[in-house]
Amino acid sequence: MKPFVAKLIFGIFLLLIVVSTNALATTKKDTTFNTDSVLKIMKRVGDWQLQYWQTKGFTHKKKDWTNAALYTGLVDLSRTSKDDRYDQALIAIGNEVGWTTGPVRLMADDYCVGQTWSLLYMKYKRPEMIAPFQHLADSIVSLPFDESLEWKNNIQNREWAWCDALFMGPTALAYLSTATGDPKYLNKATKLWWKTTDYLYDPQAHLYARDGSFLNKKEKNGEKVFWSRGNGWVLAGLARVLENMPSNYPDRQKFETLFKDMAGKVASLQQPDGSWHASLLDPASYPIRETSGTGFYCYAILWGLNHGLLDKAQYWPIAKKAWMALITSVQPDGMLGYVQPIGASPDKVNAQSNEVYGTGAFLLAGGQLLEFIHHNQKL
C-alpha cells in the first residue's frame, strides 16, 4: 500500500474515533424514567408539602377532602421511598383529629379521609385508626340512598350527586372492606357508584358531567362541558375501587369495561405537551396545562398498565408524556404548579397555581410509575 493511501486510511480511522467519542460524550443516557430519578422528584414534591405545613400551617382543615386526596399520595410516597417520615406525619394528623372524618356525616367529601385511615390501619394494625370511620360506614351501609341526584336542595350532603364524589366515597368504603375483610362496604360502594354513573355518565362521550347542572351546558366551541379534574377524580376513583375488588367480584367486569372506555377517551384528548387542559372537549378555552387532572390521568393509566387492563404499546407513550408534563411543572423548591384551584368547572391556571390535591395526584402517579419501571426495565 502506498504511503499516501495508508496515511489517508489512518486519518479517516482517527476521524471516525473522534466523532464516535464526541457522540458518546454528548449523548447522555436519559435517566428520567429510572427509579432514582422518579423517587428524587417525588420526595422533592412531598418534602415541599411537609415543609409548607411546618412553616405556614394547613391551608384547609386536616380532615378536608383536599388534604384527604393529598394523604393518599403521601401514603404511596412512604411505601415507595421506604421513608417513614411521611407515614409519621399522617399518623400525627390522625392522632390529632382522633381518626374521625368530616362534620357532614353523609357527604362523600367528608369521609374521603377514611381511605387513608384504612391504609394506615392495614400497615400498623391499630384499631383506633379505623374505628370511627367503620362506625360511620356501618350507618352508610344501612341507608337506602333513594333520593334523586338533581343538583338542588343540598343533595351533595346526602348522595353522591357529583362526579368528584366517586373518588371520595366509594374509595373510602372499598379500602375499608379490604381492611376489615367485610364486603358489605364494597357492595354499598358498588351500588351507589352505578347510581351516580346512570345519572352523570355520557356513554357516547365516555365522560362524566360534573353534576346535574352541567348536563346541558356547552363550551364556547359548542361541545359539552366535561371538566378535566372532575373526570380525573372518576378515573382515579375507578382504579382505587378496582384495587380493592376481588377478581371474581360480580361487577368487576363492568367496572373494568368502564375503566377501559374512559381511559381510551381520555388518552385521545391528551395535548401535544402531554397534559390535559381544564376543559376536555374545548382545550382552547383554557389553553394551558392543568396538572391535577393530568396527575390523576397519569396515575390511572399507569395503574391500568400495571394491572393488565391497558395495552402497553398504546398507553405507555401516553403515560410517559403525561409524566413529563408533570415533572416540568414542578418548581425548583418542589412546589407543583399549574393546579387548578378549588372549583366545579374548567378555569384558569398558571405556573404558581398549587393545591394539595394536585400534589396528591402527582405522588400517586409517581408510585405507579415506579411499579411500572420495576416490571419494565427496558424503557
Q: pLDDT tens digits, residue range 338-350?
A: 999 999 999 999 9
In the chain, the number of structural domains is 1
pLDDT at 8: 46
Q: pLDDT tens digits, residue range 235-262?
A: 999 999 999 999 999 999 999 999 999 9
Catalytic pick from 64, 76, 109, 164?
Answer: 164
Beta bridge partners of 211: 162
Q: pLDDT tens digits, residue range 292-326?
A: 999 999 999 999 999 999 999 999 999 999 999 99
Position 21 in a domain = no
Position 90 in a domain = yes
> Cβ(179)–Cβ(131) under 8 Å?
no
pLDDT at 15: 42
| Arithmetic mean of pLDDT, 354-365 | 98
pLDDT at 127: 98
Domain, as residue range, for 191: 45-145+154-375
Position 17 in a domain = no
Answer yes or no: 164 catalytic: yes
Position 187 in a domain = yes
Say if residue 229's pLDDT is above 80.
yes
Say if residue 19's pLDDT is above 70.
no
> What is the tally of helices (H) and strands (E) in the chain?
14, 2
pTM value is 0.93
Cell reading at 44: 422533592
pLDDT band at residue 6 using 50, 70 and 90 as cut-offs: very low
pLDDT band at residue 2 using 50, 70 and 90 as cut-offs: low
How high does pLDDT run on average in the chain?
94
Residues 6+ apart with CB under 8 A from 358: 291, 292, 295, 336, 339, 340
CATH number at residue 192: 1.50.10.10
Position 2 in a domain = no
> Cβ(111)–Cβ(169) under 8 Å?
yes
Rounded Cα distance between 264 and 278, Å, is 18
pLDDT at 238: 98
Q: pLDDT tens digits, residue range 69-123?
A: 999 999 999 999 999 999 999 999 999 999 999 999 999 999 999 999 999 999 9
Position 244 in a domain = yes
pLDDT band at residue 3 using 50, 70 and 90 as cut-offs: low
Look up cell 393518599; give the residue.
72
Position 205 in a domain = yes
> Cβ(369)–Cβ(355) under 8 Å?
no
Position 15 in a domain = no
